[in-house]
Amino acid sequence: MVQTLQVPFQTKQQVTRPQWAFFKGAIVPIADAKISIMSQVVNYGIGAFGGIRAYWNDEQAQLYVFRINDHVRRMLNSCKLFNTTLRYSADDLKHIILDLLRREGYREDTYIRPLVYNATEDITPRLYDVEFDFACFTRPQGNYINLQVRACTSSWQRLDDNIVPSRGKITGGYVNSAFAKSEAHWNGYDEAIVLNQNGHVAEGSAMNLFIVRHGKLITPPVSDNILEGITRNTVLQIARDLGIEVAERSIDRTELYIADEVLFCGTGAQVAAVAEVDHRKIGAGKIGPIGQKLQETYFGIVRGRNSAYADWLTAVYT
Ligand SMILES: Cc1ncc(COP(=O)(O)O)c(C=O)c1O
């Protein structure tokens, strides 16, 4: 059996409770940010969220938010899927997030959870004649999964674009992630790899996936029912910059078994090695050379130690 790093799974840890939330147009104490049980987001999952990380750099005494503009843009794209517009511009949302972080005054790695939700209290699930509002909270966040995991292919399929589009981070769609993640957990794995309706590899429960074959880094295309991950895009960019050949093409399940390396990536997952899939050891059963290079470069960038990628970072404290 492959050894995993002894980093505890985040949900088992005591997470410090944030003090503040942005709710109904203002920063309020977190305890006052309550959504009605009659709202459509609670009843039907009609909402969309984002997941952004901010990394603390101790030497610079600075908190850096990673690719905030891209995250905000993706959330506004989810609003487009709902055919709704918010009363906040992309710039407003960015400032709300930064204000919230400053109010908390974090000096540690942090997770930011913006949420667009259907606040209307009515029985008919719908997107017209309803009120969407924006809320946000933040919290300290260490690793979401270990940086080396064992995974299984899931018996649950990824949502199809014509069912609930995976390219939006749609609240209700994450029931699919919960099924996949929980089945993997109950079967003794760390993570699930979910196939799409064509039987191709889509992604993990909340992370994108890459394989390495013959020195080439391969990831499913955005048309294979995946989230258009910002970390996926980051890894592709880093790989190109490092001179690694990349391809976006469908991946078969059995390609996972014979891949030289398998990687997960995401805001939560960061860049993590998949050391085993369905009991097959991947490569040497630990992070491979390409994964290692990508992971090191990624952590250098997000923590503000690689000036070539400074454009991706927004300093919280000025
Ligand atoms: C289903 C799913 N896939 C992939 C990802 C990775 O996306 P990103 O890198 O934008 O965080 C996430 C979110 O973290 C996700 O929920």
Atom of ligand 1 nearest to the CA of 230: 10
User: Among 156, 151, 146, 154, which residue's Cα sits nearest to residue 191?
Assistant: 151
Q: Indicate whether 9 pLDDT > 70.
A: no
Calculate how far, in angstroms, residue 122's C-alpha sits from the geometric centre of ligand 1: 30
CA distances in angstroms from 213 to 1, 242, 262, 277, 280, listed in the order given: 23, 17, 9, 15, 16
Q: Which residue ranges make up each domain of the chain?
A: 10-140, 148-302
**R_g of the chain, CA atoms, integer Å:** 19
Record the pTM: 0.94
Contact 265, 210 (CB under 8 A): yes
Q: Which residues are known catalytic residues?
A: 169
Residues 256, 259, 265, 271, CA torsion sign: positive
Backbone phi and psi for residue 237, each to the nearest 5 degrees, phi listed first: -65, -45
Quote the pLDDT of residue 62.
Answer: 98
CA distances in angstroms from 300 to 71, 72, 303, listed in the order given: 20, 23, 5
Residues in CB range of 188: below 8 A, 6 or more apart: none
Atom of ligand 1 nearest to the CA of 231: 9
Euclidean distance between CA atoms 90 and 68, whole angstroms: 10
Q: Indicate whether 16 pLDDT > 80.
A: no
Long-range contacts of 238-243 (CB under 8 A, 24+ apart): 238/294, 238/297, 238/298, 238/301, 239/290, 239/294, 241/308, 242/293, 242/294, 242/297
Q: Indicate whether 95 pLDDT > 80.
A: yes
pLDDT digits (tens, 9 = 90+) for 151-192: 999 999 999 999 999 999 999 999 999 999 999 999 999 999
Q: Which of 12-26, 157-171, 278-292 has the lowest mean pLDDT?
A: 12-26
Contact 163, 197 (CB under 8 A): no
Q: Ligand 1 atom 2: the closest Cα is on which residue? A: 206
Q: Which fold has domain 148-302?
A: D-amino Acid Aminotransferase; Chain A, domain 2 (3.20.10)
pLDDT digits (tens, 9 = 90+) for 32-81: 999 999 999 999 999 999 999 999 999 999 999 999 999 999 999 999 99
Q: Residue 263: CB within 6 Å of ligand 1?
A: no
CATH architecture of 10-140: 2-Layer Sandwich (3.30)
Of 12 and 25, the structure prediction assigns the larger pLDDT to 25
pLDDT digits (tens, 9 = 90+) for 200-224: 999 999 999 999 999 999 999 999 9
Q: Residue 114: CB within 6 Å of ligand 1?
A: no
Quote the pLDDT of residue 7.
Answer: 39
Q: Residue 208: CB within 6 Å of ligand 1?
A: yes
Quote the pLDDT of residue 126.
Answer: 98
Q: Indicate whether 15 pLDDT > 70.
A: no
pLDDT digits (tens, 9 = 90+) for 229-250: 999 999 999 999 999 999 999 9
Q: Residue 267: CB within 6 Å of ligand 1?
A: yes
Quote the pLDDT of residue 180.
Answer: 98
Rounded to the nearest integer, the mean pLDDT of the chain is 94
Q: Residue 50: CB within 6 Å of ligand 1?
A: no
Find tokens 């969407």 and name the residue. Answer: 132
User: Among 223, 199, 210, which residue's Cα sits nearest to residue 274?
Assistant: 210
Contact 45, 171 (CB under 8 A): yes
Euclidean distance between CA atoms 185 and 280, whole angstroms: 17
Other C-beta atoms closer than 10 Å to the C-beta of 313 total 23
Region 9-27 average pLDDT? 76
